[in-house]
Chains A and B, each alone.
Chain A
Amino acid sequence: GAVVSQHPSRVICKSGTSVKIECRSLDFQATTMFWYRQFPKQSLMLMATSNEGSKATYEQGVEKDKFLINHASLTLSTLTVTSAHPEDSSFYICSAQRAGGGNEQYFGPGTRLTVT
């Protein structure tokens, strides 16, 4: 159990457009989901933490108006990159914590975003 999926796995978009990435916990309820960004050969950088039904908490330096996070249900969180620019090209990974299951994070497979 504890499978997390992300969709799409890869996306290419033009500069100025918006892209939505979905993160789903397939076989468990996730009260908390995390969004990370990872540049080549770098570690994961936490962007924001989202709790179901409440506003996301963004890490310092992450623009909340640019990276819109919605956690509308216990199994789905979405990250929308608005007005994407080439510097937003990165690998975006989500993770989910099981409700009542301690602080273990189960990671999704990631989404490769390329902005041209």
Chain B
Amino acid sequence: KNQVEQSPQSLIILEGKNCTLQCNYTVSPFSNLRWYKQDTGRGPVSLTIMTFSENTKSNGRYTATLDADTKQSSLHITASQLSDSASYICVVSAGGSYIPTFGRGTSLIVHP
């Protein structure tokens, strides 16, 4: 069964600090992995997409890593801002299927 597990479930950090969110998956065969940011009351917005051959991808202060061997991904947020407060969702797609598997998300709160 395809599964995506995210940790931590929630995280509180101070503005300006860095943080790393984790995503472990058992989706097979692996096609790609996406990180989304979902603000409260809004739809998810894509941050990064990574395929099997990529192990690092950056989007501004967001850097995603992928280890396809261990089936792990992380999302690192540098110099956090109050606007980073949101839910971050890891989504993994399997080859041959157009329905991805969603993680439950990590709720990040950035305090001033």
Interface set of A (CB-CB < 8 Å, partner B): 4, 6, 32, 34, 41-44, 46, 49, 91, 93, 95, 97, 103-110, 112
Contacts and interface: CB of A to CB of B under 8 A. Distances in A.
B31 interface: yes
B42 A110 contact: yes
Given A43-B89, A44-B89, A103-B31, A32 B45 contact: no
A43 B102 contact: yes
Contacts, number: 45
A93 B102 CA distance: 14
Given A41-B107, A103-B93, A49 B49 contact: no
Interface of B: 31-32, 34, 36, 41-46, 49, 89, 93, 97-100, 102-105, 107
Contacts of A110: 41-43
- Going nearest first, the 3 A-B pairs with the smallest beta carbon separation are A107-B43, A43-B104, A103-B98
